[in-house]
Homo-oligomer: A and B are copies of this chain.
Amino acid sequence: MAGPDLDELVARAREGQPRAVARLISLVEDSSPRVADIARALTPYTGRARVAGLTGPPGVGKSTSTSALLTALRGEGLRVGVLAIDPSSPFSGGALLGDRIRMTEHATDPGVFIRSMATRGHLGGLSWATPQAVRVLDAAGFDVVLIETVGVGQSEVDVVKLADTTVVLLAPGMGDGIQAAKAGVLEIADVFVVNKADRDGADATVHDLKQMITLARRELRGPSWRQPIVRTVAAKGEGVDEVVSALRTHYEWLVAHGELDRRRAARAREEVAAIALRRLHAELADLRDGDRLGDLAARVAARELDPFTAADRLIAELKGS
């Protein structure tokens, strides 16, 4: 792909052509050698999209909630991009969110773009490809980018590093889970959603959450965001407007407190570090010419050398290269 083609692709993506958007995401996801050129070409058009992360344990109704949220945001006339992040555990079992939603009501809506992304095997996981895809959607004029994690794992924590606002979904009947999870979810949630709120135990779940929030606040200093708890029945669309409203309120809070800039600077920091590490990793791999890493590894396997000394030698050669 030569330069003019890239310019045209970017121009078409900015006009909102789904094929151009999809093509750009494929290029950045596959670590195309042009990924840096793409980022450079897109950067001037970015910074406008609100980025929300959705996460939560299996069984809380994440895909139903995402679909309902999409409907509500579209109802306000907003263009919405969805990135469904799949950590690709061999045991994940479920169909990809994006694939499921794609087949529903949003499939033919030009104001919606849905993409599943696998993070397996990516050095740095979410930290690498996802910000590139967010940049594409941002430059393509989507007002909101929803990042949803599929499955359970490190990605739930990492999503926070990418989002302006992180929504944690829970459901009744997971009492033990909430207790065990409290440290983690309190750290990452900006908005709590208790889905399936028409079921037994919803009051108890909300009550537990409130207690956790109150306890955590005692340990905090200074003014801070008070995490709201929204009850929803996503399958019936109930409470979803309140989630949209909570997202907006949080975004306004971020702007008013300088927190949006702070989060985006932290996000840029993560991204730059991830790109630098990936490049260094590639340079290390290049030292396999003459298989330098392989030679050192063989000596480690034979216990002639410890791995730290081997790593030191590798780094010395990298810096000399």
Q: Which residues of A contact B (CB under 8 A)?
A: 35-36, 39-40, 43-44, 46-47, 56-57, 87-95, 120, 125, 131, 151-157, 176-177, 180-181, 183-185, 187-188, 261, 264-269, 271-273, 275-277, 279-281, 284, 293-294, 296-298, 300-301, 303, 305-312, 314-315, 318-319
Query: In the complex, are the beta carbons of B265 and A298 less than 8 A apart?
Result: yes
In order of increasing CB-CB distance, the 6 nearest A-B pairs are A90-B184, A153-B153, A36-B308, A269-B297, A275-B311, A268-B300
Q: Contact at B314–A300, with CB atoms within 8 Å?
A: no
Minimal beta-carbon separation of A163 from chain B (angstroms): 15
The answer to whether B177 and A93 touch across the interface, beta carbons within 8 angstroms, is: yes
Known contacts A151-B152, A275-B308; decide if A177 and B303 are in contact (CB<8 Å): no
Copies per complex?
2
**Chain B contacts of A125 at CB under 8 A?**
154
CB-defined A-B contacts under 8 Å, sample of 14: A40-B308, A44-B303, A89-B152, A89-B157, A90-B185, A91-B156, A92-B181, A265-B294, A268-B310, A272-B300, A273-B293, A275-B310, A276-B311, A276-B314
> Contacts A91-B184, A93-B177, A284-B273 given: A268-B39 contact, CB under 8 Å?
no
**Complex Cα gap A315–B280 (Å):** 8
Please indicate the chain B residues that have their CB under 8 angstroms from the CB of A185 in the complex: 90-91
Q: Is the interface of A mostly helix, strand, loop or mixed?
A: helix
Once the chains bind, are A307 and B120 in contact (CB under 8 Å)?
Answer: no
Bound: A39/B306 CA distance, A = 6
